Amino acid sequence: MSKAIPFIISSPSGGGKTTILKKVLAGLPGIVFSISHTTRSPRPGEVNGRDYYFVTEEEFIAVREQTPSGFIEWARVHDNFYGTSRSDVEMRLKEGADVILDIDIQGARQVKDAIEAVSIFIAPPSLTELERRLRGRGTESEEVVALRLANARRELTAAAEYDYLVINDSLSEAVEMVRSILISERSRKRRNIDGNSVELNIS
Ligand code: ADP
Ligand code: 5GP
């Protein structure tokens, strides 16, 4: 029996997590995206219950204050609250699905302290290119873009805390790298051993 794996993916805003994950998850069965709760407003095209659970600050606090906390991790990021539902993640893992958490560096630290997870950091090729992509996305006001870029420098210094680093220069190469990491981690020997023996069907 192989064990389901929690994966963490982080990057500065505009680093490419959403774009890469959409492509990777479309072609890889058995892995699900963890839908976070957030107090930020939906962007055009984002759907409640698919991209995020969009909640009020009161609703967020109510989940956070449950005992034990309804969130496996939560953080204030770029002036909004974000959190990962404990029961959602536990249920998915119990069902045997690998789960991918798109969370910031503060949340990643909390998850790594709580459970054994595989972490991937996506970095842009440069800060100039990050700014170009973030502005090009056109989903944030000038004020929000400035805040996210200011936070990016600090977030990039956390890259060394992650198991894997993927530079998102060419999109197709970054997608292939993330896909390869997920597939390789699934094949690690320790995940496929019950007790001490590995049974290979060799005749
Ligand atoms: P994040 O989810 O990390 O905030 P996005 O996936 O929304 O980032 O990407 C930010 C913007 O950059 C989007 O408009 C996306 O299309 C673009 N983008 C992502 N990766 C690349 C890439 N390798 N080359 C050019 N543009 C990219
Ligand atoms: P965005 O608003 O661009 O969707 O996300 C902003 C940041 O919040 C990103 O770094 C993203 O990874 C992070 N984020 C999204 N969901 C969660 C979550 O549940 N917990 C934490 N800690 N960060 C999250």
pLDDT digits (tens, 9 = 90+) for 129-146: 999 999 999 999 999 999
pTM of the model: 0.95
Pocket test of ligand 1: the residue of 25, 137, 169 to mutate, having most ligand atoms within 8 Å of its CB, is: 137
Rounded to an integer, the average pLDDT of 162-183 is 98
Q: What is the pLDDT of residue 2?
A: 72
Atom of ligand 1 nearest to the CA of 169: 23
What CATH number is given for 6-188 in this structure?
Answer: 3.40.50.300
Asked if residue 21 has pLDDT above 80, the reply is: yes
User: Count of CB atoms within 10 A of residue 96's CB?
Assistant: 11
Mean pLDDT of 146-160: 96
Q: Which helix (H) or strand (E) holds 111?
A: helix 105-114
* pLDDT > 80? residue 181: yes
Ligand number, closest to the Cα atom of 111: 2
Q: Which ligand is nearest to the CA of 71?
A: 2
Detail the DSSP E strand segments found in 26-103. Answer: 31-33, 36-38, 52-54, 71-77, 80-85, 98-102
- Two structure tokens written together for 86: 């404990």
Ligand 1 pocket test: pick from 23, 126, 133 the residue with the most ligand atoms within 8 Å of its Cβ. Answer: 133
Q: Is 86 exposed, middle or buried (0-12, 13-18, 19+ CB in 10 A)?
A: middle
Asked whether the predicted pLDDT for residue 195 surpasses 80, the reply is: no
What are φ and ψ of residue 62, in 5° steps? -60, -40
How far apart CA 122 and CA 20 sit, in angstroms, is: 10
